[in-house]
Amino acid sequence: MVRDSLLKAPKERKILVVDEDADSREIILEPLRWEHYDARGVSSGTEALKLMETWVPNVIILDWMIPGMSGIQILQAVRAQHPHVSCIFISGNSSTESIIEALDSGADDYIIKPFVPLELLARIRTHFRIRDLHTQLLFANERLKELVDTDDLTGLFNMRSLYQRLEFELERGKRFGREVCVIMMDMDYFKTVNDGHDHLFGSYVLQEVGKIIKANTRNIDIPARYGGDEFLVVLMEVDHRGAMLFCERLRKAIEGRTFANGADSMNLTTSLGFAITVPGENIPARELVRRADHALYESKHAGRNQTKFYTPETDKVRELRPKPAAPRKKASGG
């Protein structure tokens, strides 16, 4: 995105000239055409705003006095709808008060007539450099947000961003009476991957599992790596049957996949558990995840490579079981 912006051809740079006088307008447009900019001219603010409904320029060049709608009024109207368009005044009005008013109103530059065409072109190039730097900054910020929100290995959401999104979806589901489903998924006997192969192969397997999860989720769903070889998927607007179908489709996709990388190759299975809200239910995100995790525990206890769903009995049965000597480690995948 940044590179495309920096290498953008002049013909892709759009400039609009607004000047009532046809001769003055042509004097401005001529040097712009030397540089092969996509330059267009109109005689009034009304024409300019109408054109901008379908063609938004990067730079607008305005005269100070335009009948019907002054340059300042056009500037304010443009800023309200397109805040990132650069606005340059070219005017015979050289009073200090007018220059200050224009710049304080949001203009990016003020050039006094008569102007030197080469100077005008230099100033426009400067504005495009500023635009490109702004684009780079937006791109860098977007990339930084992606790095903060996603898991480095799989490209799925991480736990931090997952809970923020889940809280939002639960609130939305409660407001509109829609179900929200949380699925916990854990690779069966993943410890054997690292024991029988190097850790690079284990990372490869997790990356491929992430791809399988992505391929089976919709844009509105939230796939995340929960930790180690454990994954979590949030499904929106899905009922119990739809959630079960999704889990089984995902389970079979992993079961039918041979993970092969170089000399290493093996087949794996996965266990899944899900919990789904009752429409209008007021439940915290962590509680819904806890329910899905208990259902996953039931899948593991029942023999692995299957899907279980949460019921109130799930909690009761687990409470009666003796607690293990050490907590289950998510990274082991046992």
Q: Are residue 226 and residue 306 in the same domain, yes or no?
A: yes
Among 113, 145, 177, where does a domain finish?
145
Q: Is residue 331 part of a domain?
A: no
297, 318 in Cβ contact below 8 A? yes
For residue 185, give the amino acid letter. Answer: M
Q: Is residue 328 part of a domain?
A: no
Q: Is residue 163 part of a domain?
A: yes
Query: What's the CATH number where 248 sits?
Result: 3.30.70.270
For residue 17, give its domain range. Answer: 2-145
Q: Are residue 174 and residue 212 in the same domain, yes or no?
A: yes
Among 125, 145, 165, where does a domain finish?
145
pLDDT, tens digit only, all 334 positions of the chain: 444 444 578 888 999 999 999 999 999 999 999 999 999 999 999 999 999 999 999 999 999 888 888 899 999 999 898 988 999 999 999 999 999 999 999 999 999 999 999 999 999 999 898 888 877 877 777 766 656 678 889 989 998 888 989 999 999 888 888 899 999 999 999 988 888 787 789 999 999 999 999 999 999 999 999 989 999 999 988 999 999 999 999 999 999 999 999 889 999 999 999 999 987 778 999 999 999 999 999 999 999 999 999 987 767 655 444 444 444 444 444 5
User: Which residues have a catalytic role annotated?
Assistant: 229
Q: Are residue 172 and residue 122 in the same domain, yes or no?
A: no
Q: Is residue 334 part of a domain?
A: no
Number of domains into which the chain is organized = 2
CA distances from 22 to 15, 19, 37, 173, 210 (A): 17, 7, 19, 58, 61
Q: Are residue 123 and residue 194 in the same domain, yes or no?
A: no
Q: Are residue 191 and residue 62 in the same domain, yes or no?
A: no
Reply yes or no: is the peptide bond before residue 114 cis, omega within 30 of 0.
Answer: yes
Among 130, 145, 160, where does a domain finish?
145
d(CA 201, CA 185): 20
For residue 328, give the amino acid letter. Answer: R
Q: Are residue 13 and residue 137 in the same domain, yes or no?
A: yes
Phi and psi (nearest 5°) for 115? -110, 160
Q: Are residue 43 and residue 181 in the same domain, yes or no?
A: no
10 Å CB burial of residue 80 (0-12, 13-18, 19+) is exposed
CB burial readout 199-237, b (16+ within 10 A) else e? eebbebbbebbbebbeebbeeebbbbbbebbbbbbbbee
Q: Are residue 157 and residue 292 in the same domain, yes or no?
A: yes
Q: How many residues does the chain have?
A: 334
109 pairs with which residues across the strands? 88
User: pTM for the complete prediction?
Assistant: 0.57
